[in-house]
Amino acid sequence: MEINDKSGVTEYKASQKRYQNMTYNRTGKSGVLLPAISLGLWHNFGFIDNLQNGREIMRSAFDLGITHFDLANNYGPPYGSAEKNFGTILKEDFKQYRDELFIATKAGYDMWPGPYGNWGSRKYLIASLDQSLKRMGLDYVDIFYHHRPDSQTPLEETMGALADIVRQGKALYVGISNYKLEETQQAASFLKELKVPFVLHQARYSMFDRWVENGLLDTLERNGVGCIAFSPLAQGMLTNKYLHGVPEDSRAAKSLTYLNTDTVYGNLEKIKKLHDIAQERGQKLSQMAIAWILRQPTIASVLLGASSANQLKENVKALDNLEFSDEELELINRIVS
């Protein structure tokens, strides 16, 4: 809901119905409930993007009951700009709603020059989070992730840094991202010993990328940790965008991160067959792809990016039909295997 103040500037007032239709899932064995769909700010929130569009996406998200906003230190471009823009919007529109939000950031990838601006050292993680908090104008984040494993830094050091970050009050919970099975179990053991609230593993998961099913989800469940899935639409392949080939203005045509023309054409027949199943279910392919992930009990939330408020609204409609018949699941398995 929006109103105009006397100066003509649009003021944001959140919808009073924002919690009526969203589904909230418990995150592992923690007290945290996450919206089934969360908003990721990896794309469309940097300095190269339209700030007003980002504002509209965030407003629509919160009005839909999406309380979880996911960032990282190097989101942009340039690095840090997504956090800076998020902080601007937060201050102008969401300050009074801070306690209703679950805000995440991460560190682990290249951020600044020199030996202390990357990977998983205590020096890097604590310095990076301090910078992130300044950019966003926050005293703390709700969860702080180590963004990827670091084979050169002892895991004890990385997990110890996460523990101290919580004890310093800079994060309420911690998580990891992109960790494989054995690394995840080791991290869980260290954090349990340190008595740190480890609640989420953020992992790539889609119909086209099912590696988490090879033991990771079971490991998380045993340790009382939830999973939040990113890239659920396989960088746009699990949408209607590529049904008839590769549009000139698409990510694949530009060979942007994780997607190129060869990958799309290599999966095109699968995309078409999955689209047919989605139509029979009364859904778009993207909506079915989201629902398919959420059928897993260990999945707390699906992390979606959005280029517009309308795109986000369409994808949230996935929650209108989360049930799959055994026949549908078997057919999907045959198509994607």
Range of the domain at 57: 22-242+284-325
Residue 57 lies in a domain: yes
Q: pTM above the 0.75 mark? A: yes
Q: What is the arithmetic mean of pLDDT over 108-124?
A: 98
Residue 5 lies in a domain: no
Residue 335 lies in a domain: no
Q: What is the arithmetic mean of pLDDT over 23-33?
A: 98
For residue 236, pLDDT beyond 50: yes
Residue 50 lies in a domain: yes
Say if residues 286 and 294 touch (Cβ distance below 8 Å).
no
Say if residues 123 and 115 touch (Cβ distance below 8 Å).
no
What is the predicted pLDDT for the residue at 257? 61
For residue 288, pLDDT beyond 50: yes
Helix axes 261-280, 285-294, angle to 10 degrees: 80
Residue 141 lies in a domain: yes
CA atoms of 292 and 283, how far apart (whole Å):
12
What is the predicted pLDDT for the residue at 108? 98
Say if residues 223 and 245 touch (Cβ distance below 8 Å).
no
Residue 159 lies in a domain: yes
Residue 7 lies in a domain: no
Domain count, the chain: 1
pLDDT tens profile 200-229: 999 999 999 999 999 999 999 999 999 999
Residue 247 lies in a domain: no
CATH number at residue 301: 3.20.20.100
